[in-house]
Amino acid sequence: MNIILMGCPGAGKGTQSAKLQEYFQLKHISTGDVLRAEIASGSALGKQIAGIIDKGNLVSDEMMIAMLENIVKNTNKGIVFDGFPRTVAQAEVLDDMMRRLQRKITKVVMINLPEKEVVGRISSRRQCKKCGEILHITSAQEKVCPHCGGELYTRPDDTPARVKHRLEIYHKDTLPVKNYYQNSGKYVEINGDQSPEKVFEDIKISLSK
Ligand code: AP5
Ligand code: MG
């Protein structure tokens, strides 16, 4: 099973990927997390990437694809792609890569969320530096991960202005990817404006069809 999870910033791709990873024993590939890990490593490439993604822009297709192919090649597990492909060019390269690696995309799941919900969701998001858990906090006093005690942080691209910019880029560059898959027979849409548990139930049902 190789699944693509699509959706605007804050739609719940990371939250649902974690559930899919655990339930179906998949490899979760979040291109955002891959880029943030490169930044955290302090490498020259990481510094270059930080200058791009902290402003809410997309890194180049070439850079993204080279990083991704290495990860895909090195796993035998089914994959949940989170945040990739983000442009039609990336979708075309992914098709080509999967063909070469004799793998297939099983489903493309679009999680729909009304845009008025996005800023609120993202401003309450924290991620754990240690275990990577995505959390929805109810008070700014919450500084420690309830699961592992790791430090919680706010992503630099999560300010309201950057989120607005990310939404513009989503409309311009990523929504055309929906048209790319819509007639493939693999494309499904899920209502993301429900509890995470209900969204997950709906995704599981769509995968069984
Ligand atoms: P990325 O990290 O992928 O960010 P994104 O697409 O903007 O999406 P988010 O991670 O913000 O949201 P999400 O859908 O994962 O929601 P989450 O589950 O966290 O990419 C970041 C940047 O990296 C890009 O802007 C770009 O610069 C670069 N990049 C990445 N991939 C790239 C690519 N392929 N090519 C080029 N550049 C690339 O949930 C959000 C919040 O809502 C959380 O607080 C969560 O607890 C809460 N929540 C989740 N589900 C629910 C629910 N059902 N009900 C209530 N709250 C919920
Ligand atoms: Mg995410």
Residue 155 designated active-site: yes
Cα–Cα distance, 209 to 4 (Å, whole number): 16
Helices 88-100, 175-182: inter-axial angle, 10-degree rounding: 50
Predicted confidence pLDDT, tens digits, the chain (209 residues): 999 999 999 999 999 999 999 999 999 999 999 999 999 999 999 999 999 999 999 999 988 888 898 899 999 999 999 999 999 999 999 999 999 999 999 999 999 999 999 999 999 999 999 998 999 998 888 899 999 999 999 999 999 999 999 999 999 999 999 999 999 999 999 999 999 999 999 999 999 98
Of 36, 86, 107, 126, catalytic: 86
Q: Would you kindly state where each structural domain of the chain is located, as residue ranges?
A: 2-113+160-207
**Residue-level pLDDT at 141:** 85
Q: How many helices (H) and strands (E) does the chain have?
A: 9, 8
Ligand 1 pocket at CB < 6 A: 7, 9-15, 31-32, 35, 53, 56-59, 64, 83-84, 86, 90, 121-122, 124-125, 134-136, 157, 166, 192, 194-196, 199
**Residue-level pLDDT at 70:** 87
The token pair at 134 is 């995505």
Candidates 3.40.50.300, 3.30.540.10, 1.10.10.60, 3.30.70.360; correct CATH number of 2-113+160-207?
A: 3.40.50.300
Residue 104 designated active-site: no
